[in-house]
Amino acid sequence: MPVRNGNRPLPDGVSFSARAEPLRNFVTQAGARTRTTEGETAMAPEDLSAIASDMTVLVNCWE
């Protein structure tokens, strides 16, 4: 079941989240570059989901 943080539920099908700093460290150690923005305005959850869907994939594992 999606975890709720106040009135901001995670998208359907997502039942976990990660803190930014450990995720950034993992990505950097894997050889990818990250960048931090400053002063950005708040983004509606629907807009963030639309942007994120272009850079995420569903991974299935079969035995």
Q: What is this structure's pTM?
A: 0.41
Residue-wise pLDDT for 1-17, tens only, equals 445 556 666 666 666 66
Residue with tokens 């994939």: 57
The winner for highest mean pLDDT among 23-27, 33-37, 40-44 is: 23-27
The domain ranges of the chain are 4-53
What CA dihedral angle connects 11, 16, 20 and 21, to 10 degrees?
A: -170
What pLDDT is stored for residue 1 in this prediction?
Answer: 42
